[in-house]
Amino acid sequence: MNVSRVAWRRKECALKKSDVVEELLDGRRRAPGASGTAFAPANIALCKYWGKRDDELNLPMTSSLSLSLGALGATTEIAPCDGPADRVWLNGEALSGESPFVRRLTAYLDLYRSGHGYDVHTVSTVPVAAGLASSASGFAALVLALNELYGWELDRKALSILARLGSGSASRSVFDGFVEWHAGARDDGMDSYAERLDVSWPELRLGLLALSSAEKPVGSRDAMKNTRDTGALYAAWPEKVAGDLVEIRGALRDKDVERLGRAAESNALTMHATMLSGWPPILYWLPESVQTLQAVWAARKEGVPVYCTMDAGPNVKLLFLDEDRSRVTERFEGLQLVETNRKGSA
């Protein structure tokens, strides 16, 4: 990829999202078609992304690894409209231009527009801002729809980078299956992208316990910054992630659910511990979250191999094998089994 203009821009001043977009779309700018439509799955990180080394470009401090949530995600249709203002619908409801959701979406669309607004219709099968990766699937679906609208014909690596500019975790949601997002080391972020792992594990099951669909009291972006800047435990986080990535890759290779579950659960709990070590401390858990964690640990003591993970929210996800499905579902009322589409898409 030619990055001469990006390198030059870096010398002049801090690199902006618009510089990266111009680099990736060099020679591909064209008038939009009638519309573009795409679906992207939400994802659950088995090894978490928490903290940025560059806030503007959403460059992470560490790599991360996730599993997509199959049909749970976002479908977005985008089309140019006559006026300059964007019109946005979420699950059939027209949203005010003053809503945080629309303001964030509009700021991202400013990177691509040429004197016109957009009509954007999004249907999300996961609650928005509840710690279930709605922004990941939302921005990934938007980028894929823009690629169709403008006929860019970008490869998945480039689309992953563009999605990352909207939401870091969206870089992983342009793929299905098991996905690793490489942190990269370059200032321009051109080596910070996701790719699907060549792993198929049909026996692995993921269950979702949606304990709350309420909007989070602190958004992930602000929580990450607070943890990075003030967390007494955050200095140990990169080393923890490096070790967990090795464990998780090995567990996926060997189809070892105990090794996978132990690493994923430890990684999630460590992430939440780093949040509590910051000031002000951030705690997403509800009493029901704690009860669920204790129920998972009790189940393991009684011989049921089930493990848990949590993103930045109160909801809990369970990992287990299909052979233990009945024992797990009996213990956890309301558990939603997710078809994760483990083979993935190119």
CATH number, domain with residue 320: 3.30.70.890
pLDDT, position 13:
57
Of 231 and 11, the one with more pLDDT: 231
Q: What is the mean pLDDT of residues 18-23?
A: 96
Domain final residue pick, 159, 178, 196: 196
Indicate whether 223 and 329 sit together in one domain: yes
Indicate whether 219 and 175 sit together in one domain: no
Nearest residue to 141 via CA among 114, 187, 179, 105: 105
* pLDDT one-digit tens code per residue, 277-286: 999 999 999 9
CATH number of the domain within which 84 lies: 3.30.230.10
Tell me which DSSP letter residue 215 carries. Answer: P
pLDDT, position 341:
56
- Give me the number of domains the chain comprises: 2
The torsion angle over the Cα atoms of residues 203, 50, 244 and 191, rounded to 10 degrees, is 90
Distances (CA, A) of 192 to 2, 7, 23, 72, 225: 15, 16, 15, 25, 19
Indicate whether 223 and 81 sit together in one domain: no
| 343 is a domain residue | no
Range of the domain at 324: 204-338
Indicate whether 147 and 273 sit together in one domain: no
Q: What is the mean pLDDT of residues 46-50?
A: 97
Q: What is the mean pLDDT of residues 108-121?
A: 94
pLDDT, position 3:
42
Rounded to whole angstroms, the Cα distance separating 248 from 200 reads 14
Mean pLDDT, all residues of the chain: 92
Q: What is the mean pLDDT of residues 16-42?
A: 96
**Does position 335 have pLDDT exceeding 90, yes or no?**
yes
pLDDT, position 168:
96
Q: What is the mean pLDDT of residues 23-36?
A: 95
Indicate whether 113 and 243 sit together in one domain: no
Domain final residue pick, 196, 219, 235: 196
| 43 is a domain residue | yes
Distance between the two ends of the chain, CA-based, in angstroms? 20
**Does position 10 have pLDDT exceeding 60, yes or no?**
no
Indicate whether 9 and 60 sit together in one domain: yes
Indicate whether 176 and 62 sit together in one domain: yes
pTM above 0.75, yes or no: yes
pLDDT band at 83 (very low <50, low <70, confident <90, very high): confident
Domain final residue pick, 134, 169, 196: 196
**Does position 262 have pLDDT exceeding 50, yes or no?**
yes
Indicate whether 16 and 138 sit together in one domain: yes
pLDDT, position 157:
98
| 344 is a domain residue | no
pLDDT, position 345:
39
| 106 is a domain residue | yes
Contact 84, 36 (CB under 8 A): no
Rounded to whole angstroms, the Cα distance separating 325 from 257 reads 13
pLDDT, position 223:
96
pLDDT band at 340 (very low <50, low <70, confident <90, very high): confident
**Does position 133 have pLDDT exceeding 80, yes or no?**
no
* pLDDT one-digit tens code per residue, 91-114: 999 999 888 889 999 999 999 998
pLDDT, position 184:
98
Indicate whether 319 and 300 sit together in one domain: yes
